[in-house]
Amino acid sequence: MKNLNQLADDQLVKMYEEGKNEAFEILLTRYKSKVFSYIFVIVRNKEITEDIFQDTFVKAIATIQQGRYVESGKFLGWINRIAHNLIIDHFRREKNENTISADNSDYDILNDIKLSEKSVEDVLSNEQIMFDVVRLVEFLPASQQRVIRMRFFEDMSFKEIAEKTNVSINTALGRMRYALLNMRKIASENGIMLELK
């Protein structure tokens, strides 16, 4: 039998479903730094990152053990989508818990660098951008939606996207280009400021 490290992600998931715990340990080792970095880049707080990171893998374990894991691309894309949803949940909770009125104060609590590595305005702005991007994708034609999701949420290469959608790489690249142009146009028409590259 092959060394577990040499097995593909979907094989390891299947083994874990069948009760081989070491298979999930390999997946964890394989992706922990990428998932941790993905979370940290957005939340910019080590303790919160560690909490969300742990919650991400706990949720992944529960999903796999319940037989609800559906392979729809790469394991990394799937686990990052779980992390992304937990990050959004965190920002929603934080926004609700930290609603403070500063109207009658000379002190600007929203931008006190001692209270946060990022100002509350920055966090809310980043959260709004994420929601806006997700909303904008919904206005795209189905073929463009699919290429955006595969590229950014499932971390697939254009070659993989082309193979999965039965088109040439040039067609996949074209769809991405038109999707980004359409998103810029829709954002502009609705007064939404985005940095799309």
Longest dimension (CA), the chain: 70
Long-range contacts of 46-52 (CB under 8 A, 24+ apart): 48/90, 52/83, 52/86, 52/87, 52/90
Tokens 């040439």: give the residue: 168
Q: Are 76 and 34 in contact (CB under 8 A)?
A: yes
Per domain, the residue ranges of the chain are 1-99, 111-197
- Determine the Cα–Cα distance for residues 58 and 72; give it in Å rounded to an integer: 20
- Determine the Cα–Cα distance for residues 130 and 186; give it in Å rounded to an integer: 15
Q: What is the CA radius of gyration of the chain?
A: 20
Retrieve residue 27's tokens: 């997946």
pLDDT tens figures, 19-28? 898 998 999 9
Instruction: Give 1-99's CATH code, choosing from 1.10.1740.10, 3.30.360.10, 2.60.120.680, 1.20.1260.10.
Output: 1.10.1740.10
pLDDT at 167: 92
Retrieve residue 139's tokens: 């206005």
Note if the pTM is more than 0.85.
no
Element (H, E) at 193: none
Q: Which conformational region is residue 108 in: left (phi greater than 0), alpha (psi within -120 to 50 degrees), or beta? A: beta
Q: Are 45 and 91 in contact (CB under 8 A)?
A: no
Query: Looking at the predicted structure, is the pLDDT value of residue 77 above 90?
Result: no
pLDDT tens figures, 31-46? 998 898 888 888 888 8
Backbone angles phi, psi at 2, to 5 degrees: -60, 155
Mean pLDDT of 76-98: 84
CATH architecture for the domain at 111-197: Orthogonal Bundle (1.10)
